[in-house]
Amino acid sequence: MNVPVLVIKLHGQRIGFLFKYEQPGLPPILRFVVDEAYARKPWAGTDVLSESMRSADPEQQQSFWLDVTRPEFNAVVGSRGDAQLPPFFQNLLPEGVFRRFVAEEAAIDPLDHMGMIAACGRNLPGAVTAEWEDITRSSLQRLVTQDQDALEASVWAEPFQDSLSISGVQPKIGVNRDGEGRFVGRTSKGDAAIIAKLPSAEYARMPQVEGLSMQLAALAGVEVCTFELMPMSALSAPHRYDLGDELQGQFLAVTRFDRADGGKVHFEDFAQVLSRPPEHKYEESYLAIAGTLLSLPRCGEAAVHELLRRIEVNELIGNADMHLKNVGLIYRDRRRAELAPAYDITATVLYNVARGHALKLMPGSEKQHAEPIFDPARLRAFCNALGLQTPVASKVIRDVAAQAAQQWLQPILESGLTPRQKLQLLTQVANHPHLEQATRRLRRSDLLAAWQGALQQAKEQAAPTGA
């Protein structure tokens, strides 16, 4: 029986195998099997693949790795009844329209998850690769059946492996910047260091909305990734997206923080950290993220406070999409996780999506609130669950609102949003109770007046004119 097998490497070193094994009448087995040499290394002394694969007892790490029955290493059944890759690997795959284009380029079914990871295997997020290599029949038998059955590895006709995998559903391509400042397509000389997030025919001015949202987050003290808005005329890379009326607009050039001059930098999102399939990226709590951050030596309380800043920014601008895949960890030294810079911050309220937040604040709470997510009682419960000082956390949130009150108005007014979008965003921010509270604490009634004046002017500019 033929079995497709991919060799999984981290920073260029083999750490295991991903294979698909099918038998007539039985569900397929999709499994990651750790290389024994990697398994024997202590967690503190080797490159880390994922916090989801850390044993609670360091002494049991080798046994953890070698237990092939663990859910972290095996297939998950998707909502369509499809057998998905183990969660860490399934979360490496592209999403949305970008996934369809990758599938077309590689001539595979977009629901063939093993084929998809093979197609993107050299250009995955972080420092992981999944590549085809010949392995011996004896090695294959040991991997799949523990020497109980004879197997052959599928040749796959040397699977296409040059596609790029980027999460998220927005139209995008991987590019690099040439010496003349133009954005050109990837070449065989290296990975794409920049993600070009293109305009959408369905969502007006999406690059401008995301660029402004990221700018506002930075002004509020959030650590964000490097980005800039650029005219579409600066893009020289081919693509097949239908951009409609936005074709002559702008795109958002986002510098990848998982790529550096020295090569790839490992990264994982919190769907991977918490071992959740991408279909479940909205089914968790910010408390679960915070608890993980608090347990990591290079994150701790400072990282939890940074998470609070991001949640408060989302609250103020109306971003309901900070799900598990939009928060992540970066391993700059390959071993110790840090909270990655913020990315994919967008005021989704401008597109009339559900209000509230992508995740619950705590288990049992709601994603949507008539009042702010951080009211005193909820913030106190959140801090108590983590053992944090509520007054310190409260100051973090108040500081975000204060920065918003003082610094956000002009960037919104000067942005490339449509008049209608400016009105929606000004309505969201100017009428938020935290903004009013901030101006009162600052004793700046003039600030509140400026916001309300700008809001009134935006209403007049967005109002339809008579015939």
For position 467, what pLDDT does the model report?
40
Give the model's confidence band at 156: pLDDT under 50 very low, under 70 low, under 90 confident, else very high: very low
Per-residue pLDDT band for 101 (boundaries 50, 70, 90) equals confident
Q: What is the residue-wise DSSP string for 179-205? A: TTS-EEE-BTTB---EEEE---SSSTT
| Rounded-to-integer distance, Cα 144 and Cα 151, Å | 8
Q: Is the pLDDT at 322 greater than 50, yes or no? A: yes
DSSP string for residues in 125-137: STTEEEE-----H
CA angle 322, 87, 287 (to 5 degrees): 40
pLDDT at residue 314 greater than cutoff 80:
yes
186 and 195 Cβ atoms separated by less than 8 Å: no
Q: Cα(3)–Cα(288) distance, rounded to whole angstroms? A: 37
pLDDT digits (tens, 9 = 90+) for 399-444: 999 999 999 999 999 999 999 999 999 999 999 999 999 999 999 9
Higher pLDDT, 136 or 64: 64
Q: What is the per-residue pLDDT across 238-252, written as a single tens digit (0 to 9) for each?
A: 777 767 766 678 999
Residue 171, pLDDT above cutoff 90: no
pLDDT at 137: 59
> Rounded CA gap, 386 and 397, in Å?
17
Query: Tell me, what's the pLDDT at 409?
Result: 98
Name the token pair of 312.
């408060």
CA distance readout (Å), 52 to 17, 32, 48, 272: 17, 14, 10, 7
pLDDT mean over 331-336? 96
Percent of the chain with pLDDT over 90: 66
In tens, the pLDDT along 273-292 reads 999 999 999 999 999 999 99
Q: Which of these ranges, 17-21, 251-255, 392-396, has the smallest mean pLDDT?
A: 17-21
CA distance 196 to 267: 19
pLDDT band for position 155 (cuts 50, 70, 90) = very low
pLDDT of residue 149: 53
Q: What is the pLDDT of residues 348-360, one digit of tens each?
A: 999 977 678 999 9
Q: Which of 145-154, 239-248, 330-339 has the highest mean pLDDT?
A: 330-339
pLDDT digits over 365-380, tens only?
A: 776 666 789 999 999 9
Position 181 scores a pLDDT of 87
Instruction: Answer whether 0.85 is exceeded by the pTM.
Output: yes
Lowest mean pLDDT across 196-205, 338-347, 394-403, 431-440: 196-205
Residue corresponding to tokens 């991903």: 18
| Those residues with Cβ within 8 angstroms of residue 59's Cβ, 6 or more apart along the chain or in another chain | none
Q: What local confidence, expressed as pLDDT, does residue 117 receive?
A: 93
Mean pLDDT of 251-268: 93
Residue 394 confidence (pLDDT) above 80: yes
Domain ranges of the chain: 2-153, 172-462
CA atoms within 13 A on the CB side of 436: 8
Mean pLDDT: which of 29-43, 181-195, 379-393 is highest?
Answer: 379-393
And the tokens for 201? 């025919």
Give 247-280 as a DSSP string.
TTSEEEEEE-TTEETTEE-EEEEHHHHTT--GGG
Identify the CA nearest to 316 among candidates 229, 212, 461.
Answer: 212
Q: Quickly state the pLDDT bin for 157 (edges 50, 70, 90).
A: very low
Q: Any idea which residue has 């604040």 for tokens? A: 361
CA pair distance 235, 197, nearest whole angstrom: 11
Mean pLDDT of 80-106: 88
Residue 126's pLDDT band, with cuts at 50, 70 and 90, is very high
Mean of pLDDT over the chain: 89
CA distance 52 to 270: 9
